A = this chain, B = another copy of it.
Amino acid sequence: MNLAQTTALMLADIRERKPRVHCITNDAAQAFTADTLLALGAEPSLSLAKSEVADFVGSSDALLINLGTLDEKRLSAIPVAVAFAAQTGKPWVLDPVFVHRSPARLDYAAALLAERPAAVRCNQAECVALAGGGNGAAPGEVLAARFETVAAVTGAVDTVYGHDRQADIENGHVLMSRMTATGCACSAIVAACLAVGEDPFAACVAALVIWGVAGEVAGDMASAPGTFRPALLDALYGLNAEAIDKHAKAALKETAS
């Protein structure tokens, strides 16, 4: 079974099981993240209150931690959410937004990585900041190995770095970088895929393919970022195995080791 087929199956699973995804994410991304999960077929919740977050994580199937707004309430809620996810065996994904712009945030993200997220979704600049100096290896490979996680590094070409596998995904649309919160929403899709899949590597690949193909379909409907955003949600809502099969450009890489 190729990566497009596993992606289509995972999408069908999400629509069948409607996983609950609890999202601790940044202010500007909250509404779009919730809409993305709803269009995908998952059920979002967004509570940030320390007194409630364990209940929400406990009744969810996966957790998203996005560092785009790192304020007191999130700093209080995140440790509770992460600890409760670990205790109850819920997978979680870290999105270390803008860690290359703030040393305080970089330190915080590094400490969270030690808490063993199933996956990290970031861009290249964030990945380089988190990986630190590598010995010639790609920063994503260093990041995945150092923290025993899966690193999904997005850009013109996305690469997923697993323990012993890597995959390139060449889907997406240039307008996704001219809108806020598309990366944040992608991380929420990773969480939804983690909720239904056993394998974090496959979940990351599926999420990037789903989001990238939705972007390409949306690109047939809109050519500027204002109308591209609703088109992207429409495309995600209407995504099916045929569209994935037609558009997916995902392949395992030959790795050096």
Binding site for B on A (CB under 8 A): 26-32, 34-35, 38-39, 44-49, 51-52, 55-56, 59, 68-73, 98, 101-105, 178-181, 222, 224-227, 229-238
CA distance A27 to B33 in the complex (A): 12
Cross-interface CB contact of A104 among B31, B52, B101, B179, cutoff 8 Å? B52
What distance in Å separates the Cβ of A222 from its nearest Cβ neighbour in chain B? 8
B34 touches A28 (CB 8 A): yes
A102 touches B38 (CB 8 A): no
A35 touches B70 (CB 8 A): no
Q: Given known contacts A69-B47, A71-B73, is B104 in contact with A55 (CB within 8 Å)?
A: yes
What distance in Å separates the Cβ of A129 from its nearest Cβ neighbour in chain B? 12
**20 new A-B contacts at CB < 8 Å, known A49-B69, A51-B70, A226-B229:** A27-B46, A27-B48, A28-B31, A31-B180, A35-B226, A39-B226, A44-B180, A47-B69, A47-B98, A47-B101, A52-B101, A55-B104, A56-B102, A222-B234, A224-B237, A224-B238, A226-B230, A226-B232, A226-B236, A227-B234
Q: Which residue of B lies closest to A69 (CB)?
A: B48
Of A32, A34, A55, A226, most B-chain CB atoms within 10 Å:
A226
Q: Given known contacts A29-B31, A55-B101, A104-B55, is B180 in contact with A225 (CB within 8 Å)?
A: no
Of A44, A56, A69, A181, most B-chain CB atoms within 10 Å:
A69
Interface of A (DSSP majority class) = helix
Cross-interface CB contact of A59 among B51, B59, B101, cutoff 8 Å? B101
What distance in Å separates the Cβ of A61 from its nearest Cβ neighbour in chain B? 13
What distance in Å separates the Cβ of A179 from its nearest Cβ neighbour in chain B? 6
B35 touches A225 (CB 8 A): yes
A102 touches B226 (CB 8 A): no
Q: Which residue of B lies closest to A224 (CB)?
A: B234
Q: Given known contacts A35-B180, A226-B39, A233-B224, is B47 in contact with A70 (CB within 8 Å)?
A: yes
B69 touches A46 (CB 8 A): yes
CA distance A26 to B45 in the complex (A): 12
Q: Which residue of B lies closest to A37 (CB)?
A: B180
Which B residues are in CB contact (< 8 Å) with A222?
Answer: 234
Q: Given known contacts A102-B52, A229-B230, is B73 in contact with A72 (CB within 8 Å)?
A: yes
